[in-house]
Chains A and B, each alone.
Chain A
């Protein structure tokens, strides 16, 4: 059973960089066949896809966030990470990591989510 777990600071100051890591267990990122995504949900709101990474390191980002987002992968640790720069209060959200079969596009496994609050 694949499991994903987000980790990182729950509080980030405005203008700083938000950094989160997703640790995958029960499956190997380096085996290929899946995109590994970050998705966020503003409090009481809907879901927004942030971007994905493939095991090879290729990435694709939501155009609305592209200038501030970097997603990286560490296959040796079976982890992938999100960096979101120049954060504001509008970036306060629950951040999820999730897996997508590369031949499809649905998210079949999700982490439990982690709330990140942007505040001084």
Chain B
């Protein structure tokens, strides 16, 4: 199994802040990585796939980068609607998710 480790597990930030979340795979996953946003009581929402491709309709303040085993989700200017939990997911070998990063209001 490929294990996905996100860091940090939670963070506090203010509106307008630049936020970075990291996801590390236990082996190389060749950019086979997606990022999701989940709000309480809702299903996850796809933000990016193939490590850096923005899903249609997702604001451009969300971006992704990385290669090999290390990937990053960046929110360039945090908005009030961005407070949520974020998950990475690899699809290089079956499907596994990171444990999540909760973005809270500072």
A-to-B contact residues, CB < 8 Å: 37, 46-49, 60, 62-63, 96, 98, 100, 104-108, 110-113
* Among A46, A96, A105, contact of B43 (Cβ-Cβ < 8 Å): A96
* Among A60, A106, A113, contact of B91 (Cβ-Cβ < 8 Å): A106
Pair B49/A104 contact, Cβ less than 8 Å: yes
Can you give 19 contacting A-B residue pairs, CB < 8 Å? A46-B98, A46-B100, A47-B44, A47-B89, A49-B94, A49-B97, A60-B94, A98-B43, A105-B49, A105-B92, A106-B50, A106-B89, A106-B91, A107-B34, A107-B36, A107-B44, A107-B46, A108-B55, A110-B43
B-to-A contact residues, CB < 8 Å: 1, 32, 34, 36, 42-46, 49-50, 55, 87, 89, 91-92, 94-100
**Known interface pairs A46-B100, A49-B96, A62-B94. Does A105 touch B87 (Cβ–Cβ under 8 Å)?**
no
Point out the residues of chain B lying under 8 angstroms from A98, CB to CB. 43
Q: In the complex, A21→B105 CA distance in Å?
A: 37
**Known interface pairs A46-B98, A46-B100, A47-B87. Does A106 touch B46 (Cβ–Cβ under 8 Å)?**
yes
* Among A62, A106, A110, contact of B49 (Cβ-Cβ < 8 Å): A106
* Among B32, B55, B97, contact of A48 (Cβ-Cβ < 8 Å): B97
Point out the residues of chain B lying under 8 angstroms from A63, CB to CB. 1
Pair A108/B87 contact, Cβ less than 8 Å: no
Pair A104/B91 contact, Cβ less than 8 Å: yes
Pair B55/A105 contact, Cβ less than 8 Å: no
Point out the residues of chain B lying under 8 angstroms from A100, CB to CB. 91
Point out the residues of chain A lying under 8 angstroms from B91, CB to CB. 100, 104-106
Q: Closest A residue to B99 by CB, please name it.
A: A46
* Among A46, A60, A104, A112, contact of B97 (Cβ-Cβ < 8 Å): A46
Q: Most chain-B Cβ atoms within 10 A of its Cβ — which of A46, A48, A49, A60?
A: A46
